[in-house]
Amino acid sequence: MAKKVLVVDDDPDMRNAITIILESQDYKIITAQDGVEALASLRAEQPDLMILDLLMPNMDGFAVLKTLQDGRWSKYRETPILILSSVREDASRRRYELETALELNVDDYIEKPVSPDILIQRVNNLLKDKGD
Amino acid sequence: MANKSSSRSRQEEINEPELTPEEAALVLRIGVFVNMRWLAIAGVIIASLLADLVLNVRFPLTPLYIICAVMVAYNFILFLQARNLKVESSGSTPKSLAIRLGNLAPLHLMPKRGATLIEKARFIGNIHIALDLIVLIMLLHFAGGIENPFIFYFIFHVMIAGILLHYRVVYFLATAAILLVSLLVGLEYSGVIPHVHLEGFASTELYQQGNYIMGVLIALASCIYGSAYMVTQISGELRKRQREVVTLKDIGISEKVKELRDITKELTKLEEGREKLLHFLGIVAHDLKAPLSAVQSYLQLMVGGFVGTISDKQREMMDRSIYRINGLLNLISDLLDISRIESGQIVSEVEETSLLAIIEDSVEDAHALAEIKNIKLTVEVPKTLPQIEASDIRIQQVITNLLSNAIKFTPEKGNIKIKAINKRNLIQVEVADTGTGISSEDLPHIFEDFYRGGDQEKAGTGLGLSIAKRVIEAHGGRIWAESPNPEDNKGRGCKFCCTLPKKLAQISGKKEKVKPGKKQ
């Protein structure tokens, strides 16, 4: 059965591009345009991977990560997360640590823009790691 | 003005009062008068001895010496008082003075509680002068009265009063002196009190010669009034000047304080403006990055054949577009770096860091590029290099930049050497190459924003070295370049050096004035 990937990004073109890239690898893609939608989809669709943008209106990626720390979301803690953001990794990590006093615990981090080949490779890696 | 008085009272509290020029002069003068009185006592003794032994003038000396002893006694008390004269001398009159005061009721002007230093000094002065007047009259009486030419010494007395005291007191004293002398001479003349004759000096009848007495008294009175007028005028003028100096000084100080306040305000405004601008730069850079990333993704999708086949011509154009957008993205990322560094973010990134590890990582990244051009990359870093306090990400950025520059400008089969030297308080990192070098026209400018060297083709954003300079300087270090590379025996290439302090006593993300490098 095709693996489900949740793509969270406020930029419709970015969502579209990622969808095209990953659909070429026979992944099933669900999209969300902010953190609120992302959490709803996470619950409803139970994806195998979440590709998460950080800077978004309404609820940003940092808030999503923080929410997932909550005990009520422990069910989804095993879902791998790939951050895809235009912010540099070290800057994001520092910001998250400053805001939450927690380490930014994600499975992978890619800085935008990303070439299709690299995105495919990193997504494959994450989904392979999960076993089965 | 309110400020002034409050600062004055604060000075009093800390018991380290600063005298105004007028007060200082007054205190000094009281001291001088005490000293003059010592001299006067000595003078009286010497003069009477001289009169007795040399001039053979005969008159009883014992009363004179008794008076001198009294003078010594009260002058000593006044000497102690003058020494204790301070701005805040606990507000009360010393006991010894208070007792004496009872006897001098007509002359004293008792200062109020908490009187100013000037009032106190004047009060002490009043006591001095009144005592002196009485002593002088008694001395005159026992030393021959009208027969004694020292009768004119009353002028000194009035002059001293004129310097020290209020002018009304001076005229009062002058009048008192004249009246007392006239009274003394008159009483002696009329025989009410005995006359002491200076035997062998003046005629025995002199004190009975009405005309002579009148003449001397008129001369004395005019001299006394004349000097009283002169001295009070001069010292009044002087006091006015001293007050003016104080006023001018206060005005000067308050103007400087206002200037400083204005400058501080201006600086704060500038700093706020700079911070706003940096914030703005950060946002703009981010907002430029998002759409460019989307465009880049689409282009890569098309080039990658995800959305159908494209012609070679189309592919070529898209590759160019990707290349150009990459240039833009690099520029944006550099601008973001600058806004982060300039707003002092490095401070939060600093931690104990191994420079050895940073250099090894940078070299590993650069290796692939160097290999393509067959460049020999030599590393001379002692394994014992101590840890330093630095932002590892930023320092790695600088070293990677220096290495990739070296590779970019070094032809095939060239040599690049990276070296770290452990100095006393700092570590010096050097990247030397055998490349094209830097022209002497370019050399002074290579660390400036957007400065691109002569070779436009190979130049990047023009911000790499300016960011490197910002990073190194934010760490309290220095960066400079030498060309040609002094270590190359053929005189090629260039050498970039930067220093990093091991400990950051005070790190600053803000731009500081830097000393120029050796060869810049």
Domains and CATH numbers, chain A: 4-123 (3.40.50.2300)
More confident of the two residues A34 and B200: A34
Query: What's the confidence (pLDDT) of residue B359?
Result: 93
Burial class (CB in 10 A: 0-12, 13-18, 19+), B333: middle
Query: Which residues of chain B make contact with A21, given a CB cutoff of 8 A?
Result: 301, 306
How far is Cα A65 from Cα A55, in angstroms, rounded to an integer? Answer: 12
pLDDT bucket at A87, cuts 50 / 70 / 90: confident
Query: What's the confidence (pLDDT) of residue B115?
Result: 61
Across the A:B interface, residue pairs with CB atoms under 8 Å apart total 57
Please list the residues that pair with A32 across neighbouring strands: A8
Note whether A55 contacts B: Cβ–Cβ < 8 A.
yes
Query: What's the confidence (pLDDT) of residue B185?
Result: 87
Q: Report the range out of A7-16, A64-73, A96-105 with the highest average pLDDT.
A: A7-16
Distance of CA B481 to the CA centre of its chain: 39
Q: In this structure, is residue B194 part of a structural domain?
A: yes
- The pLDDT tens digits for B254-272 are 999 999 999 999 999 999 9
Token pair, residue B510, equals 């803000």
What are the φ and ψ backbone dihedral angles of A114, each rounded to 5 degrees? Answer: -120, 140
Note whether B53 contacts A: Cβ–Cβ < 8 A.
no
Task: Say yes or no: B381 and B233 in one domain.
Answer: no
Q: In this structure, is residue B437 part of a structural domain?
A: yes
Last residue of a domain, which of B261, B286, B320? B261
Note whether B323 contacts A: Cβ–Cβ < 8 A.
no
Query: What's the confidence (pLDDT) of residue A129?
Result: 57
Task: Say yes or no: B224 and B352 in one domain.
Answer: no
Sheet holding B495-501, edge to edge: B376-380, B415-422, B426-433, B495-501, B478-482
Query: Which residues of chain A make contact with B289, given a CB cutoff of 8 A?
Result: 86, 112
Note whether A73 contacts B: Cβ–Cβ < 8 A.
no
Task: Say yes or no: B257 and B361 in one domain.
Answer: no
Mutate to test the interface with B, among A26, A33, A86 (most CBs of B within 10 A): A86
**Which DSSP category does B495 fall into?**
E
Last residue of a domain, which of B261, B282, B309? B261
Q: In this structure, is residue B456 part of a structural domain?
A: yes
For B430, the enclosing helix (H) or strand (E) is strand B426-433
- The residue segments making up the domain with residue B409 are 347-501
Q: In this structure, is residue B313 part of a structural domain?
A: no
Task: Say yes or no: B351 and B257 in one domain.
Answer: no
Q: In this structure, is residue B152 part of a structural domain?
A: yes
Task: Say yes or no: B33 and B129 in one domain.
Answer: yes
Query: What's the confidence (pLDDT) of residue B8?
Result: 42
Q: In this structure, is residue B242 part of a structural domain?
A: yes
**Which DSSP category does B199 fall into?**
B
Q: In this structure, is residue B442 part of a structural domain?
A: yes
Shortest distance, CA A116 to any CA of chain B (angstroms): 7
Quick check: B408 and B451 in contact, CB under 8 A?
A: no
User: Is B297 in contact with A86 (Cβ distance < 8 A)?
Assistant: no
Shortest distance, CA B307 to any CA of chain A (angstroms): 8
Query: What's the confidence (pLDDT) of residue B98?
Result: 37
Last residue of a domain, which of B207, B240, B261? B261
Q: What CATH number corresponds to the domain at position B490?
A: 3.30.565.10
CA nearest to A10 within chain B:
B290
User: Is B290 in contact with A86 (Cβ distance < 8 A)?
Assistant: yes
Token pair, residue B182, equals 């006239």
Supply the Cα-derived Rg of chain A in whole angstroms: 14
Shortest distance, CA B300 to any CA of chain A (angstroms): 6
Question: Number of structural domains, chain B?
Answer: 2
Quick check: B400 and B377 in contact, CB under 8 A?
A: no
Query: What's the confidence (pLDDT) of residue B22?
Result: 73
B131-170 exposure pattern, b = at least 16 Cβ within 10 A, e = fewer: bbbbbbbbbbbbbbbbbbeebeebbebbbbbbbbbbbebb
Task: Say yes or no: B79 and B207 in one domain.
Answer: yes
- What count of other Cβ atoms lies within 10 Å of the Cβ of residue B48? 19
CA nearest to A14 within chain B:
B294
Task: Say yes or no: B248 and B110 in one domain.
Answer: yes
Query: Which residues of chain B make contact with A56, given a CB cutoff of 8 A?
Result: none
Residue ranges for chain B with pLDDT beneath 70: 1-19, 85-115, 454-459, 505-520
Query: What's the confidence (pLDDT) of residue B505?
Result: 66
Task: Say yes or no: B27 and B163 in one domain.
Answer: yes
Q: In this structure, is residue B286 part of a structural domain?
A: no
Note whether B293 contacts A: Cβ–Cβ < 8 A.
yes
Shortest distance, CA B326 to any CA of chain A (angstroms): 9
Task: Say yes or no: B54 and B187 in one domain.
Answer: yes
pLDDT bucket at A130, cuts 50 / 70 / 90: low
Please give the average per-residue pLDDT across A31-54, as a whole number: 94
Task: Say yes or no: B123 and B224 in one domain.
Answer: yes
